[in-house]
Structure 1
Amino acid sequence: MDSLGGDNAEINTIVSGPIIIGAGPSGLAAAACLADVGIPSIVVEKSSCIASLWQNRTYNRLHLHLPKQFCELPLMGFPDDFPKYPSKHQFISYMESYASAYGIRPQFGTEVTAAEFDRAIGAWRVRTRGRGELMSRWLVVATGENAEPVMPEFPGLERFGGRVIHTCAYKSGVDFEGEKVLVVGCGNSGMEVSLDLCLHGARPHMVVRNTVHVLPREILGLPTFAVTMALLRWLPLRLVDQLLCAVAHLMLGDTDRLGLRRPKTGPMELKNLTGKTPVLDVGALGQIKSGNIKVKGAVKEISTGGAKFVDGTEEQFDSIILATGYRSNVPSWLKGECGLFTQDGMAKESFPEGWKGENGLYCIGFTRRGLLGASHDAVNIARDILLQWKQGKEMNYENKKS
């Protein structure tokens, strides 16, 4: 049987159930939902652990930004004694318990280098580095929206004399005590890293290049996300956005005066259109107001000892932290026109669609709806594959009878 070529391609393994690529929350959710309906699957993961993004590429102070009920995976909730916003380590322990409960044992250290549908045999060929080639009728892409860090190319960055890291390598502000640090990016990660630096005795300067919505994490003791979801059941999206912005202005003040200009498009409409998530403030705004976190405009270029900004100012910095986000890596290994992904490796269709492609191809967690969206995808994928699984068994039974 022909393979996709390359090292170890002669080792071919036919998998009876789906191949799931990625052992993060999305991959585990898909495997659990399949196991729950009696369908075996194989999960391949290039790292050495489950939820590798959470375990290896997140900072220590990270907590879930949304309440736990909006972040649990299908079939199993968080432990009752977990707080409303579980910590990074609590979330990892939940993932480990989840995998154990459903007997999910990923093949770690298995990097997928290419995957392509072979029409001659009606199956997906998945070539891996070190474990040969896997073949299955179904392929579930669960590598997620955050597979690779985005590394921007600033003029002069290579000649900067201090350290430059992406937030995927940032752990704690204790490593930057006493330093003047330029944080590039003002999303949830940029805001929270700036806060963490401030609390550990560093002097963060946060680059805010574009407009940004900042919302309180809670409104009158209720999670803002929960309030928003409740309002959207009864009110038009734009009216909900107007209410959110009014409440944010009342509780947080005029953020434009702090250098955090609000977009003209409302927070939820903007998220639906672009996937850009509003910042939920966990304390950074207070530090900005007190002057402990400085807000800077766009960077023009990096110098040997600092940065020049588009407003003509120039400052010296000890370190630069890139809070510039992540991106999908699907285009680098998924071959052929599948009709499911964009050129950027995101789902073509918006939520709640976007989870099913052609020829047994599925994706989970690519519609910018977080863990809640991934859970929805996982349930749909398992239900859809179950129908085909049953049809296949019925066909085999009929063939045996004849």
Structure 2
Amino acid sequence: MPSSKEPPQQQQVKCVFHRGPIIVGAGPSGLAAAACLHASGVPALLLERADCIASLWQHRTYDRLKLHLPRQFCELPLLNFPNHFPKYPTKDQFVSYMEGYARHFSIEPEFKQAVLEARFDGLTGLWRVQTRDALYVSRWLVVATGENAEPAIPEIQGLRRFQGPVLHASAYRSGSEFSKKKVLVVGCGNSGMEVSLDLCRHRASPSIVVRNSVHILPREMCGVSTFTIAMVLLKWLPLKLVDKFLLVVANITFGNTARLGLRRPKTGPIELKNATGKSPVLDVGALSLIKSRKIEVVEGVKEITKNGAKFSDGQEREFDSIILATGYKSNVPTWLKGEDFFTEEGMPKTPFPYSWKGENGLYAVGFTRRGLLGTSSDAVKIAEDIADQWRKINKRYSAKEIKLGSEIFGKIRENI
């Protein structure tokens, strides 16, 4: 028997030097960057903590989810959606598109490789990316974990006391399990509205908490996407004027939503989205149910009780379940170390359109607050920048010399 004083054996950690960039995250942002790099002749290595691509879409979205914008605004670079897809593809269709996208560009991520730490080594001029069982090293690091890496759970007094089920919207699949139940939905963004709509369609009784002011716009105007109209108008008119037009249309369509407990922000919908990332709600039917009182709007939760909630107006109600439709957040600060490029909230300090590039070969894709359009813009710029460096390096060193350098690196990896 070995002595109890003997130190435990350390797990063997492999060291991998990659000639091209390392991309952390195999969601739409990581796939877009990898595809653009592939088209430029630059090999990329994708590290993904889950066991599949686009894990947020596959494992953390409700069944009835559809893209809020027309498909032409949600395509990744260099490959369109299949022609037979509808105007607003479903969750499953979007996942199948991304899987086909990965196959088309021969993207094969390393799955189950959650990054514990990534740090730039000033002595070697290389990035060290540590996972549980490997150390990956490269000249370039592309952060592609995005704005929605982790569920955002708010601090609500008494939440742990509640005896019924409490789940984040990322764990919500269908209203079928809430039939004939009273459900408190915290958050009135697109997710909160759609979850409430889905609950109604499964004969549940949802009450939606309005924590802040919110813009609600019709998804379409006369059969044309509101977003499409806004994008066309922005080519010719100032942003504030386009915002005013959208609000006029919304008021004509919905009336004064403040009477329903849904106050509009003072800042216009597009200007607010660009400044804070807060998207307007594109209504797909929830507002009519609010008007008919099938979805009840309640103001701020003061406290969660054992069987329900107390509200800021003094009322106390009982609920069977609570769903937190409170959004997501970046997880970059938990693993990217020694860098001043990101804020404490995990967003680039430099605003769009200059948020894609840091120092020492650091890049960011999918942090623009502008959805997949912003992701595509970032991916193209990153690929062009890295490809330019790649060509210069390959002019300086032959393939044989690069291979020799990789072998030498492997021999001295214990000292890195």
- TM-score, shorter chain, exceeding 0.5: yes
Q: CA deviation at 1:340?
A: 2.4
Moved more, 264-273 or 291-300: 264-273
Does the CA contact (< 8 Å) of 2:274 and 2:370 recur in 1?
no
- Matches of 1:397 and 1:58 in 2, distance apart? 47
Correspondence 1:207-286 to 2 at 5 A: 207-286=209-288
Q: Indicate how the Cα distance of structure 1 residues 77 and 161 shifts in structure 2: closer, same or farther if over 3 A, else same.
A: same
Provide the secondary structure at the position in 2 that maps to 1:308. strand
Larger radius of gyration: 2
> Any conservation in 2 of the 1:19–1:136 contact (CA below 8 Å)?
yes
2:295 & 2:258 partners in 1: Cα distance? Answer: 15
- Residue 91 of structure 1 corresponds to 94
1:113 is matched with which residue? Answer: 116
Question: What SS is found at the alignment partner of 1:100?
Answer: helix
Distance apart, 1:9 and its partner CA: 7.0
Q: CA offsets per residue over residues 279-312 of structure 1, 9 Å max, x none?
A: 0000000100011000000000000000000110
Q: Distance in 1 between matches of 2:203 and 2:74?
A: 32
The letter of the residue matching 2:317 is: E
Given candidates 39, 42, 46, the residue that maps to 2:45 is 42
Deviations along 1:383-402, whole A, 9 cap, x unmatched? 000000011011225998xx
- Pick aligned residue for 2:56 from 53, 61, 66: 53
Picking from 135, 158, 161, the partner of 2:137 is: 135
What SS class does the counterpart of residue 12 from structure 1 fall into?
A: strand
Deviations 1:153-194 (A, max 9, x none): 211111111100000100000010000000000000000000
Instruction: Find the aligned partners of 2:213 and 2:28 in 1 and give their Cα distance.
Output: 30
Q: How big is the shift at 1:209?
A: 1.5
For residues 158 and 123 of structure 2, the distance between their equivalents in structure 1, rounded to whole angstroms, comes to 51
Task: Specify whether residues 328 and 243 from structure 1 end up closer, same or farther in structure 2 by C-alpha distance, changes over 3 A only.
Answer: same
Equivalent pair of 1:146/1:328 in contact (CA under 8 Å): yes
Counterpart residue type for residue 344 of structure 2: Q
CA deviation vs aligned residue, 1:112-144 (integer Å, no higher than 9, x gap): 0000000111100000012x1000000000001
Superposed CA deviations along residues 237-283 of structure 1, whole A, max 9, x for unmatched, are: 11111110000000111111110000111111111111111000000
Task: Extract unaligned runs of 5+ from structure 2.
Answer: 1-8, 402-416
User: Which residue in the other structure is 1:362 paired with?
Assistant: 363
3-state SS of 1:389 partner: helix
Aligned to 2:81: 78
CA distance in structure 2 between the partners assigned to 1:155 and 1:378 by the alignment: 41
Judged with a 3 Å threshold, the aligned counterparts in structure 2 of structure 1 residues 7 and 90 are, in CA distance, closer, same or farther, namely: farther
Amino acid in structure 2 at the alignment position of 1:158: R
C-alpha separation in 1, matches of 2:274 and 2:40 = 32
Matched residues, number: 393
1:20 paired residue number: 23
**Structure 1 pair 109/206, CA: closer, same or farther in 2 (3 Å)?**
same
Amino acid at match of 1:370: G
Give the structure 2 partner of residue 3 of structure 1.
none
Contact conserved, 1:7 with 1:129, CA < 8 A, in 2? Answer: no
Instruction: State the distance in 2 between where 1:192 and 1:7 align.
Output: 49
Q: Aligned pair in 2 of structure 1 residues 218, 398: CA closer, same or farther (>3 Å)? A: closer
Aligned to 1:382: 383
- The answer on whether the counterparts of 2:342 and 2:348 sit within 8 Å (CA) in structure 1 is yes
CA distance in 1, matches of 2:399, 2:57: 47
The residue number in structure 1 matching 2:200 is 198
Query: Take 2:356 and 2:10, find their aligned partners in 1: how far apart are those partners?
Result: 31
* Aligned counterpart in structure 1 of residue 32 of structure 2, from 9, 29, 32: 29
Q: What secondary structure does 1:13 align onto?
A: strand
Deviations 1:35-62 (A, max 9, x none): 1111111101000100000000000000
Match of residue 332 from structure 2 = 330
Aligned equivalents of 2:235, 2:343: Cα separation in 1: 30
Change (3 A) 1:331 1:8: farther
Q: Which runs of 4+ in 1 moved over 6 A?
A: none
3-state SS, counterpart of residue 166 of structure 2 = strand
Quote the sequence identity (%).
62
Counterparts in 2 of 1:398 and 1:140: CA distance versus 1, 3 Å: closer
Q: Secondary structure of the residue that 1:324 maps to in structure 2?
A: coil
Indicate conservation of the 8 Å contact 2:67/2:91, yes or no. yes
Query: Structure 1-normalised TM-score?
Result: 0.96
What secondary structure does 1:215 align onto? Answer: strand
Paired position in structure 1 for 2:309? 307
Specify the code of the residue in structure 1 equivalent to 2:288.
G
Unaligned stretches of 5+ residues in structure 1: 1-5
Q: Which amino acid is the alignment partner of residue 156 of structure 1? A: G
Structure 2 partner of 1:66: 69
**Distance in 2 between the 1:346 and 1:9 partners?**
34
Assess if the C-alpha contact under 8 Å between 1:32 and 1:102 holds in 2.
yes
* Secondary structure of the corresponding residue to residue 234 of structure 1: coil
Distance 2:88 2:351 in 1: 27
Paired residues for 1:141-220 under 5 Å: 141-220=143-222
In the aligned structure 2, how far is the partner of 1:232 from the partner of 1:244? 12
Distance 1:161 1:269 in 2: 41
1:353 deviates by 1.4
Q: Distance in 1 between matches of 2:395 and 2:35?
A: 24
Supply the RMSD in Å over aligned alpha carbons.
Answer: 1.4
User: TM-score, normalising length from structure 2?
Assistant: 0.93
Whether contact under 8 Å (1:340, 1:354) holds in the other structure is no
